[in-house]
């Protein structure tokens, strides 16, 4: 009983520090963002972006210190050597829990530019942090169901237009654009409902990353594929705060962005099928990588066999066969 009380107290203290840190940095972030929007001179916008990213990085630094204080985690992170803090990256990852975001911010702190996530529009309503995300130019996506779009065809392509505008903003200063390709957190219930062919993953949604790659292809240095594994199973944010997550394993692959990876996903059938095939093969490798990360008492990167699949070459006749 005393142990449970102590654990919950530690979780409450950890959460309080996260909250205080977030409130502290949200004020200068929102104030700077308002100045940026009130001064319609692009020359100053880059200056404001530097201030915003500096505040955001300090917010992450304090969060990381909080983790070290309350969460005694054994980290096993592989594949970070080629990354730089002054480049442009598109980062994708599997998604199991809200803890994934803290993991990504921790491992990539000062390794690559500040991560900017594609977020659901509803998250803007989250007090303080939702407005901070808006101030930092996080793109908020409006996702419509197929049935809704059939009844409201004028909204078709709206989410892509938002993505395009966001990517245009990202060209002015080094940035890391983050996308959870599965579109939602992994659960066994969702896995069964999807009838996913992957053991540890939901089906990937290729359209968003294809669009981002095409919009920013001239700037992007690498497509960064991240695989996160929790030996004790994915835990809740509260479990993380209480110190119940004691080990995290992460494998990172930096994939050069090549011309064949860039194309019009929504109008070119051949490219769309090739890109979907490539992402599916990437997900097959990730699925195997998760098993290998979890199999050994201490993972050995030399034994991880998740290789980067080559981008497939498809002809028009291949496209027709697949579409049949």
- The reported pLDDT for the residue numbered 9 is 92
- The reported pLDDT for the residue numbered 323 is 37
CA torsion angle 120 124 126 130 (round to 10):
110
- The reported pLDDT for the residue numbered 311 is 75
pLDDT of residue 139 exceeding 80: no
- The reported pLDDT for the residue numbered 245 is 95
Share of the chain above pLDDT 90, in %: 49
Q: Is the dihedral of CA 41, 139, 258, 260 positive or negative?
A: negative
Cα–Cα dist 47/173, whole Å: 10
Could you tell me whether strands 74-78 and 176-180 are parallel, antiparallel, or unpaired per DSSP bridges?
unpaired
Q: pLDDT tens for residues 252-275? A: 999 999 888 998 887 888 899 999
pLDDT of residue 242 exceeding 90: yes
- The reported pLDDT for the residue numbered 154 is 66
Cβ–Cβ < 8 Å for 56, 136: yes
Helix H segments across 115-217?
A: 129-135, 146-151, 158-169, 188-194, 207-216
Angle at 46 between CA 175 and CA 80, to 5 degrees: 20
Domain boundaries, the chain: 73-323
Could you tell me whether strands 74-78 and 140-141 are parallel, antiparallel, or unpaired per DSSP bridges?
unpaired
Half-sphere exposure in the Cβ direction for 267 (13 Å, CA)? 6
Cα–Cα dist 160/155, whole Å: 10
pLDDT of residue 111 exceeding 60: yes
- The reported pLDDT for the residue numbered 147 is 64
Q: pLDDT tens for residues 20-33? A: 999 999 999 999 98
Cβ–Cβ < 8 Å for 238, 97: no
Instruction: Return the H-helix or E-strand segment holding 7.
Output: helix 2-38
Q: Is 35 helix (H, G, I), strand (E, B) or coil?
A: helix
Cα–Cα dist 259/276, whole Å: 16
Query: Which neighbouring-strand residues pair with 115?
Result: 176
Q: Between 121 and 211, where is the model more confident?
A: 211
- The reported pLDDT for the residue numbered 142 is 66
- The reported pLDDT for the residue numbered 157 is 62
Cα–Cα dist 299/78, whole Å: 10
Most confident of 44-48, 168-172, 245-249: 245-249
- The reported pLDDT for the residue numbered 321 is 41
Cα–Cα dist 291/22, whole Å: 35
pLDDT of residue 228 exceeding 70: yes
Cα–Cα dist 67/280, whole Å: 34
Q: Is 293 helix (H, G, I), strand (E, B) or coil?
A: helix
Q: pLDDT tens for residues 144-189? A: 555 666 676 666 666 667 667 777 777 778 889 898 999 889 999 9
CA distance to 22, 65, 106, 235, per residue, from 28 (Å): 11, 20, 22, 32
The mean pLDDT of 287-304, rounded to a whole number, is 82
Q: How many CB atoms lie within 10 A of CB 138?
A: 20
User: Which of 45-49, 112-116, 284-288 shows the lowest mean pLDDT across its residues?
Assistant: 45-49
The mean pLDDT of 57-68, rounded to a whole number, is 95
The mean pLDDT of 91-106, rounded to a whole number, is 95
In whole numbers, what is the pLDDT of the chain averaged over residues?
85
pLDDT of residue 113 exceeding 60: yes
Instruction: State the DSSP code for 115.
Output: E
In CATH, what class is 73-323?
alpha beta
Q: pLDDT tens for residues 190-205? A: 999 999 999 999 999 9
């Amino acid at each position: 009983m005393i142990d449970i009380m102590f654990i919950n107290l530690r979780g409450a203290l950890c959460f309080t520090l996260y909250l205080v840190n977030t409130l502290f940095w949200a004020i200068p972030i929102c104030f700077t963002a308002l100045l940026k929007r009130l001064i319609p001179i692009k020359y100053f916008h880059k200056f404001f972006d530097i201030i915003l990213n500096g505040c955001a990085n300090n917010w992450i630094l304090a969060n990381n210190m909080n983790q070290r204080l309350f969460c005694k985690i054994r980290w096993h992170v592989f594949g970070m050597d080629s990354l730089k803090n002054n480049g442009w990256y598109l980062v994708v990852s599997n998604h199991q829990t809200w803890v994934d975001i803290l993991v990504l911010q921790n491992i990539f702190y000062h390794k690559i530019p500040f991560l900017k996530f594609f977020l659901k529009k509803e998250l803007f309503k989250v007090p303080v942090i939702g407005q901070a995300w808006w101030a930092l130019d996080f793109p908020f996506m409006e996702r419509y169901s197929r049935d809704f779009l059939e009844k409201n065809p004028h909204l078709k392509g709206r989410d892509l237009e938002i993505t395009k505008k966001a990517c245009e903003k990202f060209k002015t200063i080094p940035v890391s654009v983050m996308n959870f390709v599965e579109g939602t957190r992994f659960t066994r219930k969702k896995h069964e409902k999807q009838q996913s062919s992957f053991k540890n993953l939901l089906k990937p949604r290729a359209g968003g990353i294809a669009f981002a790659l095409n919009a920013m292809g001239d700037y992007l240095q690498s497509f960064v594929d991240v695989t996160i594994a929790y030996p004790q199973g994915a835990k809740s944010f509260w479990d993380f705060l209480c110190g119940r997550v004691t080990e995290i394993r992460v494998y990172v692959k930096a994939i050069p962005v090549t011309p064949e990876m860039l194309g019009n996903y929504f109008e070119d059938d051949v490219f769309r099928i090739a890109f979907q095939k490539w992402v599916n093969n990437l997900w097959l490798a990730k699925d195997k990588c998760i098993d290998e990360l979890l199999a050994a008492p201490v993972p050995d990167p030399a034994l991880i066999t998740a290789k980067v699949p080559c981008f497939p070459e498809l002809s028009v006749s291949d496209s027709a066969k697949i579409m049949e």
